[in-house]
């Protein structure tokens, strides 16, 4: 059993220093509440996203990695660091970082599917690689927000062994029903634990939905927040994933040779 904390709060648009300070307070609170793993939402350093996001972005991810590593060591928690706006080699990315309890950097992920309706594709560069890693004897994976709508991408992680999927997001209240449906559907279709962590409150002129959730592989919601800032916490049995996949062998019944490609 892992005690997982999904942290949602109202991220301040363009207020980078305030957002790092808030992230530290929320990680500290989650650790105090007994979390083993703390998960942050999407673009928590800048919010989604100010006009000058490129100027505010973390250069090479240095500030974020240092912050997450120090927080992990100080509070003794594993951190899936949501995502932040970063600049590398002159390109802007929406990047997730992961650190372990000793503050060691584990992996990173650049958001692959960019939200054209929100002009994200005009500002950010898209990632190209999936993100799967070892987590205390299990396989973990991560996607970011809009990635959740692409079942091909989610299945790619599942076929790589993913048993627990982290989904940081900045999902708007206007499409809140989609958030609830897609997060549960992901848990059922991929037969994994889903930790979906959303921002809340106002982000510029966008109202974020909140409702972060931790969902088991049968689609049962173990814990869910509302539309207010909160630490949403639940104990998740990752070993349950193997039992579910054995009882309902969906992956073994796939027929990729007849699937349409492209």
Catalytic residues, by residue number, are: 42, 111, 145
Backbone torsions φ then ψ of 182, nearest 5 degrees: -70, -40
Q: Which residues pair with 208 in a beta bridge?
A: 172, 201
Both tokens of 138, joined, read 């299990």
- Four-residue CA torsion sign, 235, 232, 144, 260: positive
Task: Tell me the C-alpha distance between 98 and 133, whole Å.
Answer: 10
Task: Tell me the C-alpha distance between 96 and 230, whole Å.
Answer: 21
SS3 26: helix
Task: Tell me the C-alpha distance between 35 and 5, whole Å.
Answer: 6
Torsion of CA 61, 173, 232, 64, to 10 degrees: 10
Pairing of strands 193-198, 132-135: unpaired
Task: Tell me the C-alpha distance between 221 and 109, whole Å.
Answer: 26
Q: Which residues pair with 95 in a beta bridge?
A: 84, 110
Q: What secondary structure letter does DSSP report for 172?
A: B
CA distances 174 to 45, 171, 178, 206, Å, are 23, 9, 9, 9
């Amino acid at each position: 059993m892992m005690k997982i904390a999904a942290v949602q709060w109202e991220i301040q648009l363009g207020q980078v220093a305030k957002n790092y300070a808030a992230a530290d307070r929320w990680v500290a609170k989650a650790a105090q509440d007994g979390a083993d793993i703390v998960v942050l939402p999407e673009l928590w350093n800048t919010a989604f996203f100010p006009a000058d996001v490129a100027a505010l972005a973390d250069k090479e991810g240095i500030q974020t990695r240092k912050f997450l590593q120090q927080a992990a060591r100080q509070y003794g928690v594993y951190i899936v660091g949501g995502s932040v706006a970063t600049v590398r080699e002159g390109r802007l990315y929406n990047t997730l970082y992961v650190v372990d309890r000793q503050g060691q950097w584990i992996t990173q992920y650049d958001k692959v599917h960019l939200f054209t309706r929100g002009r994200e594709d005009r500002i950010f560069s898209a990632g190209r690689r999936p993100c799967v890693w070892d987590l205390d004897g299990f396989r973990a994976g991560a996607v970011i927000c809009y990635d959740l709508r692409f079942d091909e991408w989610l299945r790619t992680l599942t076929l790589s062994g993913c048993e627990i999927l982290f989904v940081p997001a900045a999902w708007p209240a206007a499409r809140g029903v989609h958030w609830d449906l897609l997060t549960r559907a992901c848990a059922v279709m991929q037969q994994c634990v889903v930790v979906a962590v959303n921002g809340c409150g106002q982000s510029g002129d966008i109202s974020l939905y909140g409702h972060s959730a931790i969902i088991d592989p049968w689609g049962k919601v173990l814990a869910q927040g509302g539309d207010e800032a909160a630490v949403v916490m639940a104990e998740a049995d990752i070993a349950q994933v193997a039992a579910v996949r054995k009882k309902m062998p969906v992956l073994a019944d796939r027929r990729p040779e007849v699937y349409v490609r492209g």
